[in-house]
Amino acid sequence: MGVGFGQVLAVSNLYLIFFLRDVSAELRCCKSTQHLLQNAYECVWVSVRPRLQTAKKIDDQGESDLSTVSKEDGFVVFDHVQKSYDGEQLVVKDLNLYIAKGEFLTMLGPSGSGKTTCLMMLAGFETATHGDILLGGKPINNIPPHKRGIGMVFQNYALFPHMTVGENLSFPLEVRKQGKSEREENVKRALDMVQMGDFINRRPAQLSGGQQQRIALARSLVFEPDLVLMDEPLGALDKQLREHMQYEIKHLHERLGVTVVYVTHDQSEALTMSDRVAVFDDGIIQQLAPPDDLYERPENAFVAQFIGENNTLKATVTGIKDGIASVDYGRGTKGEALAVNCGDVGSTTTLSIRPERVEIGKKSGPNAVDANVLELIYLGDHIRCRMEVLGDDQFVVKVPNSHGHKHLVVGETTKVSWSSEDCRALDA
């Protein structure tokens, strides 16, 4: 263990140090190694703890609707979970989340939203201040990380640089005291699963970023866990490789049926791979829904703006009838929108319109307005057109690059319009 330990510490993170510290005794490490691991843990914790304590204070808000999966059906259950690092400010507040067995659920949100803290509590690297976390119907709050039977994939892979690929995968099996022949069989099976069987004798430094990510994924699956946690595992990859790995992880999940909880701030990853996505902000779930629902039917202005490209216009509600809100943009311009989460008559609302739902050239209708073309950007499959609409100079329209599409010119004035059902009246 002493060979290359400095290199291990350099590429490992707090998660791995927690794990090594807890299992060192089970591996019958000598006292000097246990002491070294304890010192490493303390050094990393001292540097990390201040950063964790900078989480923002969250407002008192109600519980989100999480009725898609019931508490009784949940394989992973967060039951009224709260987390505070300093005893005063909550970074996760009254989290109630139920994840079905075999589901791929993504926790999506900006930095500081609480998503990674939730993953750390589920993994056992942080303790919940209040509430219970259940796995398979059993509380796991007091169970150490290495005894929870959870696979983990880290952003920096956390592979041991002084071990071969085979030895990296064998390590968690040794901790679980599997026999040599059984270990070798499981390692081969896991490597074949990610099409990396020919690399069993290579070291991590001899692998590309994508290959290292496959090895990290195989290591998380080698002991056949019922639950795999992934903490922004594709963040260090380039765009093309990242997109390729998204499909690989999605297909692997479909083949194995393992439950996956995935954390990311990248919306494309969440939309591509997930069965459901929990959008976090300020420590609470703003919306929990399948990817198409999140994009097509956001429930509030934050989700609408965070998921995909989105146009927003401010207006005043002048009437609501049969689920359609009549709105006044000011300057004598009126329109209609789907009343989703807007206030009563006289209140200000944020209107959400997706760029691809805007039509160009249609001169009549309840939402037909003048637009001045400011910028045209060619993106291959479509032209991104930035316009000034109702005083907003960041209004974007995506014009499909199809035969016979309308050719716009910078500086020209045209008409744009949208369906009332495609315009959602949300909270201000």
* 28-44 per-position pLDDT tens digit: 555 555 555 555 544 44
The percentage of residues in the chain with a pLDDT greater than 90, rounded to a whole number, is 59
Between CA 341 and CA 371 the distance in angstroms is 27
Report which of residues 64 and 150 the model is more confident about: 150
Q: Please determine, for residue 60, whether its predicted confidence score (pLDDT) is greater than 70.
A: no
pLDDT digits (tens, 9 = 90+) for 352-378: 999 999 999 887 888 999 999 999 999
pLDDT digits (tens, 9 = 90+) for 140-181: 999 999 889 898 888 787 889 999 999 999 999 998 888 999
H or E, element range at 281: strand 276-281
Q: Six-digit token pair at 31?
A: 């006292």
Q: What is the mean pLDDT of residues 192-198?
A: 88
Between CA 196 and CA 58 the distance in angstroms is 44
- Whether 317 and 425 have beta carbons less than 8 Å apart is answered as yes
Q: Do domains 76-296 and 309-426 have the same CATH topology?
A: no
Between CA 232 and CA 264 the distance in angstroms is 5
pLDDT digits (tens, 9 = 90+) for 80-134: 999 999 988 999 999 999 999 999 999 999 999 999 999 999 999 999 999 999 9
Which pLDDT band holds residue 199 (cuts at 50, 70, 90)? very high
Residue 301 pLDDT: 93
Between CA 284 and CA 248 the distance in angstroms is 30
76-296: CATH number: 3.40.50.300
Residue 131 pLDDT: 96
Q: What is the mean pLDDT of residues 195-204?
A: 92
The percentage of residues in the chain with a pLDDT greater than 70, rounded to a whole number, is 84
CA of residue 194 relative to chain centroid, distance: 22
Residue 362 pLDDT: 82
If DSSP codes are grouped into helix, strand and coil, which group holds residue 219? helix
Q: Please determine, for residue 78, whether its predicted confidence score (pLDDT) is greater than 90.
A: yes
Residue 243 pLDDT: 87
**Mean predicted lDDT score pLDDT of the chain:** 84
Instruction: Compute CA distances 365 → 264, 316, 328, whole Å.
Output: 40, 19, 15
Residue 13 pLDDT: 46
Residue whose tokens read 């970023």: 209
Q: Is pTM, for the whole model, over 0.75?
A: yes
Q: What is the mean pLDDT of residues 250-275?
A: 91
Report which of residues 36 and 285 the model is more confident about: 285
Q: What is the mean pLDDT of residues 303-324?
A: 94
Q: What is the mean pLDDT of residues 321-326?
A: 94
Q: What angle do CA 70, 72, 76 make, to 5 degrees?
A: 80
pLDDT digits (tens, 9 = 90+) for 393-414: 999 999 998 887 788 999 999 9
- The residue ranges of every structural domain in the chain are 5-52, 76-296, 309-426
Residue 75 pLDDT: 95
Q: Which residues contact 196 (CB under 8 A, 6 or more apart)?
A: 165, 211, 214, 215, 218
* Domain at 309-426, CATH from 3.50.50.60, 3.40.50.720, 1.10.10.10, 2.40.50.140: 2.40.50.140
